[in-house]
Chains A and B, each alone.
Chain A
């Protein structure tokens, strides 16, 4: 069963506007972590933001915030004030705190910021 679901293959946003990238997850582990990564065309994985399953508050990192709704099992990424350099693939990922602790990735969303 797919553990991380990103339903938006592609998104467009105007420069300076905010955009939300959706992510839902499935796990029976009470302890887990949720990550968002940016992957530009160069291929490198750039860490954006992290949310722990026990964190009470939504994570924020500069222009990035994570809308964590635990009951809905969703962890949407909000990018405020989009910039042209934000154009890239964005991956949601989950770490379950039992087992091997490898990250499981969603299928990704390609974001294109338009001037």
Chain B
């Protein structure tokens, strides 16, 4: 079935540095990738939608300059948290609309990245 590989699964970085999270579709082409953020014991909140070949669409309240999203190819979307601060610590997870008719009805999730900024 459709697989989205997300890396890293866990990262600890120093305040002020940047962190890049990759989501790669392994056996299908993902022209769209949804990026979610999840605080501990909270729901998944949509941050932005990346589209191959065009600019990402950000949700209201999400800082475009802090959360840089790039969809470089049909199989790779990246989220870069720039100048990270402790309040950026969170669980980030990507999701790609997969194949119509797939058993999961079209949404394939990465395994998530737990970011801790110290």
Contact = CB atoms under 8 A, between A and B. Distances in A.
A110 B43 CA distance: 11
Contact of B46 (A43, A50, A102): A102
Contacts of A107: 42-43
A102 B105 contact: no
A43 B112 contact: yes
Contact of B49 (A33, A91, A100, A106): A100
Interface string A85-110: 00001010001000011111111101
Interface in B67-107: 91, 93, 95, 97, 103-105, 107
Interface string B27-57: 0000000101010011111100100000001
Contacts of A45: 44, 93, 95, 109, 112
Nearest to B113: A43
A105 B93 contact: no
A38 B112 CA distance: 14
Interface residues of A, number: 21
Interface of B: 34, 36, 38, 41-46, 49, 57, 91, 93, 95, 97, 103-105, 107, 109, 111-112, 114
Given A91-B43, A103-B46, A110-B41, 8 more contacts: A43-B38, A45-B44, A45-B95, A102-B49, A104-B46, A105-B43, A106-B43, A108-B43
28 contacts: A33-B105, A35-B107, A43-B38, A43-B111, A44-B112, A45-B93, A45-B112, A47-B103, A47-B104, A47-B107, A50-B105, A91-B43, A91-B44, A100-B49, A102-B34, A103-B34, A103-B46, A103-B95, A103-B107, A104-B46, A105-B36, A105-B43, A105-B44, A105-B45, A107-B42, A108-B42, A108-B43, A110-B41
